[in-house]
Amino acid sequence: MTYFLQQLINGLQLGFVYALIALGYTMVYGIVRLINFAHGDVFMVGAYLGFFALASWGLPFPLAIVVAMVGCAALGVFIERVAYKPLRNAPRISALITAMGVSLFIENFTNLNFVFGPTPRAFPRPFAVRTFGLGGVEITNVQLIVFGVAILLMVGLSLFVGRTRTGRAMRAVSQDRDTARLMGINVDTVISITFGIGSALAGAGGVLYGIAYPQIQPMMGIMPGLKAFVAAVLGGIGIIPGAMLGSLIMGVVETFTSAYVSSTLRDAVAFGILILVLLVRPTGLLGKSHSDKV
């Protein structure tokens, strides 16, 4: 039982990191119907920005998160403007292929020696790791920080989307872009803001990933990115609470697979869930189903 609870905590730690990535996927998909494959790489850039902020510039930890968030937001908006905006009315698959191209470009460009380089780097811990006992179960201050920051950002996002004018505009654009435009909403700006916010969350996720699993390298975004996407589909793509729920489930299932079955099979289980969800309930756990219209 103690082992079970311990693994549950480890799973939630992974799940919260996935959640921060999955939110960006789901928001972007909700608004432009695009699987932004480059999102996992934005997460990677966030981890590196956090690394430089802590190791090279000696900034305090909260400021490192802010640096990563701002940098990633700028990167996300830039990618959207340059690569996706011209394809907004093209077939969806063209945009998808472009997204894969952007993803490969970021990975291979940052892999060059004069950028980040292919050698993995150790992520600095800005504080000593402390462990608290809780009825036999151990929880570290790193895990508490991951939980805290992630929950804080998610609450902030919910308030932003639910309570502000911009948030309302985002919801309007995701329901019906053309009608939203007729209501006087600047759709291009809203899309850019969505990319910016989603990328900022991924950037924060990158820094949290860095302190939780302290080794970073340019290809580190591929798998977490894909799994966060699976989590977004699991929860119901386009639905913000769905992405959070799906991510926590994914993180826990993956950790349990490693703990109880085999760590080599955990990717297969993650993507097995994806295929199962798509077949049984393609709209996800929290989604509403609708059929094709002519």
Partner 1 sequence: MRTDGARRRPEPGTIAVIVAVGGFVLLQALMWLGVLNPYWQQVLNLAGITLISALGLNLIYGYTGQFSLGHAAFYGVGAYASALLTRSLGPGAGTLLLGIVAGAALAALVAFLIGLPILRLRSDYLAIATLGFGIIMKVLLDNSDAVIPMMGGSSGMSGIARLTTFPWVFAFGLAAVLVMRNLVFSSVGRALVSVREDELAAEAVGIDTTRYKTLGFVIGCGYAGVAGALYAHLYAYLNPFSFDFLKSIDVLLVVVLGGLGSISGTLVAAIAWTFLLEGLRVALPASVQDWRMVIYPLVMIVFMLFRPGGIFARTEFGFLKPRARRGKE
**Site for partner 1, rule CB under 8 A:** 33, 35, 83, 86-87, 90-98, 100-105, 108-109, 111-113, 226, 229-230, 233, 264-265, 267-268, 271-272, 274-275, 278-279, 282, 292, 294
Report residue 287: phi and psi, to 5°.
-85, 160
HSE, side-chain direction, 13 A CA sphere, residue 47? 32
Shortest separation between residue 136's beta carbon and partner 1, angstroms: 33
Q: Which residues pair with 137 in a beta bridge?
A: 134
* 3-state secondary structure (DSSP) of residue 54: helix
Shortest separation between residue 34's beta carbon and partner 1, angstroms: 8
Shortest separation between residue 83's beta carbon and partner 1, angstroms: 6
Rounded distance, CA 199 to CA 72, Å?
5
Shortest separation between residue 139's beta carbon and partner 1, angstroms: 31
CB 205, CB 10: distance < 8 Å? no
Radius of gyration from C-alpha coordinates of the chain: 19
Rounded distance, CA 179 to CA 166, Å?
16
Rounded distance, CA 294 to CA 53, Å?
52
Residue 38: both structure tokens together = 């480059």
Between residues 132 and 260, which has the closer beta carbon with respect to partner 1?
260
Between residues 165 and 288, which has the closer beta carbon with respect to partner 1?
288
Residue 239: both structure tokens together = 């639905």
Between residues 84 and 123, which has the closer beta carbon with respect to partner 1?
84
Between residues 264 and 289, which has the closer beta carbon with respect to partner 1?
264
Rounded distance, CA 71 to CA 207, Å?
12
Residue 231 Cα distances to 156, 235, 284, angstroms: 20, 6, 9
Between residues 143 and 194, which has the closer beta carbon with respect to partner 1?
194
Shortest separation between residue 73's beta carbon and partner 1, angstroms: 21
Between residues 100 and 144, which has the closer beta carbon with respect to partner 1?
100
Shortest separation between residue 268's beta carbon and partner 1, angstroms: 4
